[in-house]
Every structure is written in structure tokens, then in C-alpha cells.
Amino acid sequence: MNTPLILIIEDEKALRINIADIVAHYGFSVISAPSGEEGVKIALERKPDIIICDIMLPGIDGYDVLSHLKQSPQLVSTAFIFLTAKSTRADTRLGMDMGADDYLTKPFSKEELLNSIHARIEKLTKIRQNQVHKDESIEAALEKMTCLTKAERKVFHKISEGLTTPQIAEKLFLSQKTIENHRVNISRKLNLSGPNSLISFALRLRAQNADDHFLDNLPYISSHS
């Protein structure tokens, strides 16, 4: 991956500068923020690879920062490292349950900081390599979407909204058996196998297309169904 961008969110100026100096010295790009509010704003604008964030911040705390950023699809793969003076198991568990990747207890050494960063980079590299393969598979399947009939597209669209077979049947005024038949045909045409592969593909495709009517832009074969 390219030179990772690391965002440091820490209200203690001396510590913020110290961490930034260490990070920059070892070849990483670095930006920083003195508060949770500013950190969230910068993160959404710059989309860092790694965020190192203190828990005890003025205004919104580190937990709130993590909660805000986890709602952004563009930051779903960003690694999050908590800094804290607390070291209780409950605090650690809370951060991890919220989606934090690591936890450094103050005071921490330069080695501990760098080890955590390198571990996150290694994980991010693997995640993004896997994502490339997933994106390629989506593109390949997307080319086959032209094989879907108009009725199948309607069903696929409802699947991408997370609806179940009974819910789709109710929405489209069709029987559940008809919906199941459409699902089987869609999976076959897209070369998807496995009980959840169609759902997973539909959700990923929808996530990559902000327009809810992305299927309308593709041609489809004529059908009376």
C-alpha cells in the first residue's frame, strides 16, 4: 500500500507532538487534532489509514469518535488504536466491542506504538488485497446482470435492500415460491453458489453504488415475466 496516513487525536499537546514526531520519523504521513470534534472532521475529509485516538478528550470522547466514524462507509477499513490512562479489562473490552483494533495504555514505549502501527498496516494490506479480488468478482458478475429479466431485477433490487423472501413476495405481490424460483435463476445466471452468496453480492453491489436505481442503467433481456 502507499505511504499510510495516520491521524492522531490527542488533547495533550506535548504527547500529540511526540507521537507525531515518532510516526513521521519512521516514514508515515501524519496529521493531528486536539479534540474529538476536530478529529472526526479531519478523518471524514482526509480518510486516514490509521487513527490513534485518546479516550479522555474534551467534548466528545474517544468512544464517541469511534462511534461516529464507524458510521462512514468510506472509513470502514480504517484501523483504530485507542490511547488511554485506564487499563481495566472492562475499558479494553468496551473499546474492542465497539470496533477498535488495538489499545495502548499510557505510558507506552516507542516500540509498543510502532508494533501496533505495523500490525495494523499488515492487516490493512491483507484486507485491501482481498477487497480488490472482491471488487473484481463484483465487476465480473455485474457484466452478467444484463442476463436478468425485468422481474428478476426487481427481486434482486429487493434482495439488495436486505428483504427476506416473504417480505419480497409481499412487496411485489407474488408468491414465495415464485420469489424462490427467481432467486435460484438469478444465482445461476450470476454464477453464485452458497446459501448466502446472492445476499452478500447484492448488498456489496448496493454499497458500491450510491444510486438506489443502479440496475435501471443496465440493459436487460426482454421477458414477459
Average pLDDT score, the chain: 84
pLDDT, one tens digit per residue, over 84-101 is: 887 667 777 777 878 888
Average pLDDT over residues 100-114: 92
Say if residues 71 and 35 touch (Cβ distance below 8 Å).
Answer: no
Q: CA 182, CA 110: separation in Å to the nearest integer? A: 57
For position 222, what pLDDT does the model report? Answer: 43
> Of 46, 34, 26, nearest to 8 (Cα)?
34
**pLDDT band (50, 70, 90) for residue 53:** very high
pLDDT, one tens digit per residue, over 184-220 is: 999 998 888 876 788 888 887 776 664 445 555 555 4
Q: CA 204, CA 198: separation in Å to the nearest integer? A: 10
- Look up residue 97 and give its three cell numbers: 466491542
pLDDT, one tens digit per residue, over 142-174 is: 677 788 898 998 999 899 888 889 999 999 999
**pLDDT for 59 beyond 50:** yes
For position 221, what pLDDT does the model report? Answer: 44
Instruction: Compute φ and ψ for 8, nearest 5 degrees.
Output: -110, 120
